[in-house]
Amino acid sequence: MEPSFSAKNPQTSKFLEPGYSEASMAEIDAALKAAEESFDILRGLQREERARLLDSMADEVMGLGDGLLERAHLETGLPMGRLTMERGRAVNQCRMFADILRDGSWVDARIDQAQPQREPVPKPDIRKMLRPIGPVVVFGASNFPLAISVFGSDTVSAMGAGCPVVVKAHPAHPGTCELLGEAIRRALEKLGLPGGCFSLIHGTGNTVGKALVEHPATQAVAFTGSLKGGRALMDVASKRQNPIPVYAEMGSSNPVFILPGALKDRYEQIAEGFVQSLTLGVGQFCTNPGLVAGLDNSEFGDFREKVASLAREWSPASMLHSGISQNYSSGLSKIAAVSGVEVLGKSEQAPDPSKTEAICQVFSTTIETFLNEAALSEENFGPSSVLLTGKDAESLEKFAESLEGQLTATIHATDDDLTAHRRLIQILERKVGRLIINGYPTGLEVCSAMHHGGPYPAASHSFFTSVGTDSILRFVRPVSYQGFPQSLLPDELKDENPLSIWRTVDNQLTRDPI
């Protein structure tokens, strides 16, 4: 096939060799059929074998050495230091899943033993555990080319669960995707596993993505990107004859509340931390703080001034690709056009469009204006934020109440502030996936207590996280086994507990055999 597209270096606006070709419908079909055929083999692996596969994938990615980082740098403009850290995160999260598989308790085994003598009806023996669902289609994110892309949390959690994966490469970093895809293919080959367990598909329009979601073999979809893209894929999935889940993480505005006591104590420190969080990665994080609310007093005025001066000092930097940069610029114009909104501060240095550069820009308005202007609640992906002033505690609560689903909300507060604003916390708890006190929303810890998701439109299913150990739960479903003989039960559910995992037996958590 003739190459039909190439990546573009955002820092030079030059196209990069080689070219890549869009997958044909026959290639999409072949990838998903191969995934379906390899499902039994992948799900049938012993836990140690599947853990070894993940470890081997991590080794192969590390084995790509600096070549991977250099290609990712050329395609995304992200600095080498950031990419080195991101590779560390990706490799560590893969090894974390290998450890979870070795431990084995993640399958949430439950056993309710039979009570044949129970009156008026005997109770049957029922046992339940989580089982993999089948081929998963993954849409990688443009802003995490290593940790939420081909070898990201979606792929490793799905394969860890026992599901074959077909990845739709992000068209902005196809070369990085190819390198990562080869590493995964090598790991499969070394362990003698079928190539159908993992495939990489390229495409630049919506056609390829749509066909992947529509394919009858696809059982679930994982997506990180825009609300428009995520919603379109949810709609495609729900129109299938057998609708399937789309686990979409679609970003949010991540409101920050700065309460009076905290401002009095440390407004400068909060302003510095806030601008660092706002401009980290050129604002291209789904956890970027796009809205800030405080009360109308002199301390919030000082805070706003400090933020404005830091924004003025911030030097423009390259965004990931021209599409994101154009969306960001038009978002800035849209906010500036709202009556009652003023520009509080923006980078004094002009951006260089040939380097796909973005400025930092902060706006100021009242909560009242925000409540009447839908345009202000839309996420503007990049280093920009709107600072909102409210009259009193009630207006902060009204603002919180007006918010759509968010990934995070942050509160800067003293203990007294928290006591005085209990209601605000109660409201925010209904709106977000993660509440942060005296911290910043960017910098996402990969751990078992992390919930990276939230009510729609932050995510498609508020129950599920796309980062952290629980992300594996997106790719499994519970199966109950009633009246099964020991010989037919999975090892996890056998009386003697041969894998020595934690199980809930007759409502007691235990590792003991029965």
Q: Between residues 164 and 209, which has the closer beta carbon with respect to ligand NAP?
A: 209
Instruction: Quote the least distance from Cβ 86 to ligand NAP, whole Å.
Output: 14
Q: Between residues 128 and 170, which has the closer beta carbon with respect to ligand NAP?
A: 170
Instruction: Quote the least distance from Cβ 204 to ligand NAP, whole Å.
Output: 5
For strands 432-437 and 406-412, give the pairing. Answer: parallel
Instruction: Quote the least distance from Cβ 502 to ligand NAP, whole Å.
Output: 33
Residue 61 CB partners (closer than 8 Å, separation 6+): 68, 87, 90, 91, 94, 151, 180, 183
Residue 483 CB partners (closer than 8 Å, separation 6+): 124, 125
Q: Between residues 226 and 389, which has the closer beta carbon with respect to ligand NAP?
A: 226
Look up residue 24 and give its amino acid: S
Q: Between residues 220 and 286, which has the closer beta carbon with respect to ligand NAP?
A: 286
Q: Between residues 194 and 229, which has the closer beta carbon with respect to ligand NAP?
A: 229
| Cα separation, 424 vs 312, whole angstroms | 32
| Cα separation, 146 vs 90, whole angstroms | 6
Q: Is 112 exposed, middle or buried (0-12, 13-18, 19+ CB in 10 A)?
A: middle
Residue with tokens 């409210």: 390
Q: Between residues 56 and 284, which has the closer beta carbon with respect to ligand NAP?
A: 284
Query: Looking at the annotation, which residues are catalytic?
Result: 249, 286
Instruction: Quote the least distance from Cβ 377 to ligand NAP, whole Å.
Output: 14
Residues 464, 467, 471: CA angle, nearest 5 degrees: 45
- The DSSP string of 34-89 is HHHHHHHHHHHS-HHHHHHHHHHHHHHHHHTTHHHHHHHHHHH---HHHHHHHHHH
Three-state secondary structure along 379-398? Answer: CCCCCEEEEEEECCHHHHHH
Instruction: Quote the least distance from Cβ 334 to ligand NAP, whole Å.
Output: 13
Instruction: Quote the least distance from Cβ 250 to ligand NAP, whole Å.
Output: 5
Beta strands in 174-245 (DSSP E): 198-201, 220-224
Q: Please give the residue ranges that form the binding site for ligand NAP (CB under 6 A).
A: 139, 141-143, 168, 170-171, 203-206, 209-210, 224-226, 229, 232-233, 249-251, 286, 323-324, 327, 381
